[in-house]
Amino acid sequence: MLNRSLLVTLLFGSLVACTPGTKDSSSTMSSPASPQAAPSTPASRSTTSPTKTTTIQVEGETQQIPLELLQSSYFSTYFPSDRFKIVQVGSGEGSATWFYWKQSDGTTNKNAYVQVFLPGQRLSVDQARQFLVGNRALFETNDWQRLDRGSGDRYAESAYSSWLRDLIRFEPRTNPQSIAGTAYIGEIEGRAFYVISHYPREYGDGFLPRADVILKNIKGKETGLSSNSKLALKGIGAVQVGMTVAQASNAMGQPLISQGEPAPGSSCSYVAPQQSIQGLNFMVINDRIVRIDVRRSSPITTLSGAKIGDSEARIKQLYPGQLTITPHKYRPNGHYLTFTPKDAADRNYRLIFETDGKQVTDFRSGRLPEVTWVEGCS
């Protein structure tokens, strides 16, 4: 039997999926079915636009589409910014993110969406399944009928293997030919969640390839720091620009070791992880992380996949239309390739690649003006 706390969560899960048309990113949520649920607040969101592009097949034709990175409190994913609008709502019972379909005229069809819901409490996969098919749960509340379980969906099992544990296809009991849907049950770092794909059947050709991009890129929020961590504008792994050295050490789970005292009259210095990650250092000003340097031979890549040794042409391909190219101060044929984000929230941050004229030799990210300092702390 489900306990009272879980029942409240089930009711909240039913609420956030069955009333998509009434939500926006600043709304509050209440329900006669769940009067004891806490009022909701907007979930955190950070995006850069676009962060990269990808190609998809739509009705047999190849299309290149722009992608933005969404980072929430519990997961991240890329989504096609040309055809999806994000709405996020959170409360003590959980966090819901909708990717609503934008039609060609710019209006939103809230009957076509991908929804990611993470319960506020840690649940098992079986408990998360009860969110969907249990008594008074999501399927019953929305009058959806289950069609089959997804054990035979080889594409989904392969493409979403990092998080997918089960899936259930469904359709509405009333007018079943109007809507197609799939409920995906996933798990990230031992925490179960679900994803709903819901769309009018006539939208399938355009909707499904773009929804697939969202599902393929779902990842849990990164903790700690490792050679697999990805450099972003404002941080890497669990370390964020603006943290104190102590906060960064706690977030990454290991001490940051000084690489030398500041020069006389300066408050600038570098620190590095005690468990060394080759070529990775953090610039510190007045005890706060302001910049992240990735130097020769480091395995670290950016969120978009850029790395040491990449050609200038590849960097231009990864960041189209957002690079400023200037001559290198010390290398006769070298360049600085500076990525400037479009999002106003990121206007004080940059990502800079140094090259020898052909390949990337170093790169860094962080806040202005420190990220532009060619000699580091020197």
Average pLDDT over residues 15-19: 41
Tell me the pTM: 0.54
Rounded CA separation 67/55 (Å): 10
Chain mean pLDDT for the chain = 83
User: What are the pLDDT digits (tens) for 131-144?
Assistant: 899 988 999 999 99
Q: Exposed, middle or buried: residue 290 (CB in 10 Å: 0-12, 13-18, 19+)?
A: buried
Do 34 and 18 contact (CB within 8 A), yes or no? Answer: no
Write b or e for each residue in 217-239: b if 16 or more Cβ atoms lie within 10 A of its Cβ, otherwise e. Answer: bbebebeebeeebbbbbbbbbbb
Cα torsion through 10, 12, 16, 18, rounded to 10? 60
Rounded CA separation 309/329 (Å): 19
Question: Band of the pLDDT at 53, cuts 50, 70, 90?
Answer: confident
Rounded CA separation 22/69 (Å): 25
Rounded CA separation 262/200 (Å): 61
State the alpha helices, DSSP H only, in the chain: 4-18, 125-133, 138-142, 154-159, 204-216, 245-252, 312-318
pLDDT score of 151: 52
Question: Band of the pLDDT at 92, cuts 50, 70, 90?
Answer: low
Rounded CA separation 86/357 (Å): 40
What is the β-pairing status of strands 288-294 and 360-367?
Answer: antiparallel
Rounded CA separation 124/101 (Å): 30
